[in-house]
Amino acid sequence: MGLACLVLGMLLFLATHLFARSKVWRPALIARLGKTPYRVLFSIVSIAVLALIVYGFARYRAEEWIDVWYPPLAMRHVTLALMLPAVILLFAAFLPGHISTWTRYPALLAVKIWAFAHLLANGDLGGIVLFGGFLAWAVLARIMLKRAPEAAREESGGLFNDGLAVVLGVVTYAALGFVFHPVVIGVPVFGV
């Protein structure tokens, strides 16, 4: 049941995010509902889909674990190394500076790195579905953005925002590794 919920959640995630990029259906729904109701509806649906993914993955991990391959222990270290730039890039997406200018879409790059890193360290079917699904979405979203007209870019905050993204990224990286991952996910990260 958990794996089915996870797969359904990932398919709904991809479908809703593809819908949001549609040049036909999205404008038609906005015209019918209005911009604010559309955003509220999209937010509610996104939260429900995310809850389904979390529920499905948790049930899968507790009841249906299926090993596909056994990653070498070294992959955990590669994942640890990749996660630091991923978290920094996530902050850089919200703190415009040189990092966000160089990477163009730092949040998508962060998701790609996060998903790829976790695919390296997780050889179970649920992990492959979860992280592979997010990696596929991020790659597809980047391709769609590349084909879209260039949006106006925010003014750069320069080195201050870059420094802030790095500091917040390092602190968050430590919190994810020392607190979130072992307590919430149940998998220790550091010292393994």
> What global pTM score does this model have?
0.89
pLDDT at 154: 62
pLDDT at 190: 85
pLDDT at 152: 58
Residue pLDDT tens, the chain, 192 long: 899 999 999 999 999 998 998 889 999 999 999 999 999 999 999 999 999 999 999 999 999 999 999 999 999 999 999 999 999 999 999 999 999 999 989 999 999 999 999 999 999 999 999 999 999 999 999 998 888 776 656 667 789 999 999 999 999 999 999 999 999 888 888 875
SS (H, E, C) the chain: CHHHHHHHHHHHHHHHHHHHHCCCHHHHHHHHHCHHHHHHHHHHHHHHHHHHHHHHHHHHHHHCCCECCCCCCHHHHHHHHHHHHHHHHHHHHHCCCHHHHHHCCHHHHHHHHHHHHHHHHCCEHHHHHHHHHHHHHHHHHHHHHHHCCCCCCCCCCHHHHHHHHHHHHHHHHHHHHHHHHHHHHCCCCCCC
